[in-house]
Amino acid sequence: MRGGGLLVAGTTSDAGKSVVTAGICRWLVRRGVKVAPFKGQNMSLNSFVTREGAEIGRAQAMQAQAARVEPTALMNPVLLKPGGDRSSQVVLMGKPVGEMSARGYHGRRQQTLFEPVLACLEELRATHDAVICEGAGSPAEINLRRTDIVNMGIARAARLPVVVVGDIDRGGVFAQFFGTTALLAPEDQELIAGYLVNKFRGDVTLLEPGLDMLHGLTGRRTFGVLPYAHGLGIDEEDGLRVSLRGTVRESVVAPPLGADVLRVAVCAVPLMSNFTDVDALAAEPGVIVRFVDRPEELADADLVVVPGTRGTVKALAWLRERGLADALARRAAEGRPVLGICGGFQALGEHIEDEVESRAGAVEALGLLPVRVRFAREKTLARPVGEALGERVEGYEIHHGVADVRGGEPFLDGCRVGAVWGTHWHGSLESDGFRRAFLREVAAAAGRAFVPAPDTSFGTLREEQLDRLGDLIEEHADTDALLRLVEEGAPKGLPFVPPGAP
């Protein structure tokens, strides 16, 4: 096999495309197939920096890990990072190329990106046995089909078979499968090989009559019914959809080693980015993580995290409007732990000069750390390695803000004053030794008899979760049929389902 491929599309956003793509990648690599993930265009505030210094969607980095390959910019050539309801930063081949409105992007710029996106896919296909592509939203977004570079546009250009994933937990999955197919042009429908049901609960035999009727209506089979699985903990594409009342992940709760638990409150700032920074905390036995948006929710927290954001000035205003800024100031005065990461670190400083992100000019920050920040037009994209609290730390940086640290104790690239820490480094808490040392400091400052587990390995937990995704595909999908699709393409003679695209 060389250059095989498959596009995993979805009936809606959040249907499970990212998870299924990762699962197929892990299943294939376990079979000895050299596989790579691909998403032509991704809209996400949750991003990652590759070793060559390129910014890509974190979901594609996770899928690359599932495929056991190093993530590269080829796997996500276009990344859109929302800066508000109507505009996004456009990142091309890992580097920002400017801000653009949704109308301007879909009207002009997107069409010019089609050839570079297709070239990236073809380069991956030339060097891998198979490339598993992820679509975006739904392929039946007929208002956007003319300029599509991530769903049927790329599938038709590259002659990729398409499997459509539907989330049955939401209801209406049969209508979604049928309607998605029926709203596509005949040339697009030729590539829709069939369907994959996701998040099913219950007795699958009760579903089979509906699947048979769907096959009769569309001429297309269902390749599998994946059960609802708790605690997968894979990286989400968009931090904007995080529930403020929910925990970070549904996972098995292990008892704490010490007498106390640690409660972590994460301020759900606007345009929150890389909220996955706190996943490593949530993986620790006895650490309870929740997202908050009210000052009273900070009262019982042992640690408050101000996370990254694509809008530091907007986040500052939000913190003040909500009363969270005053609550953070009280915590700092009382010696109660606060951690700022990236945009959160900038917000904890003294002063911000921003003519790039918000263009607000001079803005006073919260004044909890002796740091002044100036926003540069060039974005910092790096994979730093360092030491803190006597432990080795790895991280990654994605920011326009340049920090001038004017005091405090050194802490990674930032500083610490009392129980307030700040750094631009994302992902630092995934370094196990450093995370344990940091939690010991937090517990001491909070007066908690908390003991971090000595053997929690975040990397091992991530690998276990990716293996579970591979297991879902292997145990609940028709893998022989999926492999034929990857190798041979969509079956010939698939029937047209009227009315087709308008």
**Catalytic residue numbers, as ranges:** 342, 426
Torsion of CA 8, 14, 16, 22, to 10 degrees: 70
Q: Return d(Cα 305, Cα 284) in angstroms, integer.
A: 16
Task: Label the pairing between strands 308-309 and 287-292.
Answer: unpaired
Strands (E), 318-426: 338-341, 351-354, 361-364, 371-382, 385-388, 391-394, 397-405, 409-411, 414-417, 420-423
Which DSSP state fits 278? G
- Rounded distance between C-alpha atoms, residue 168 and residue 201, angstroms: 9
The residue type of 490 is A
From edge to edge, which strands make up the β-sheet containing 262-267? Answer: 287-292, 262-267, 303-306, 338-341, 420-423, 414-417, 409-411
Instruction: Give DSSP secondary structure letters for 152-201.
Output: HHHHHHHT--EEEEEEGGGS-HHHHHHHHHHTS-HHHHTTEEEEEEEEE-
Q: For 169, how many CA atoms within 13 A lie in the half-sphere containing its CB?
A: 12
End-to-end CA distance of the chain: 38
> Could you give phi then psi for residue 179, rounded to 5 degrees?
-65, -40
- Give the Cα separation of 494 and 291 in Å (integer): 47
Task: Compute how many other C-beta atoms are within 10 angstroms of the C-beta atom of residue 130.
Answer: 24
Closest among 290, 362, 364, 351 to 320, alpha carbons compared = 364
- In our burial notation (b when 16+ CB lie closer than 10 A, e otherwise), range 377-398 reads eebbbebbebebbeeebebbbb
Cβ atoms of 341 and 425 closer than 8 Å: yes
Q: Are strands 130-134 and 4-10 parallel, antiparallel or unpaired?
A: parallel
Identity of residue 94: G
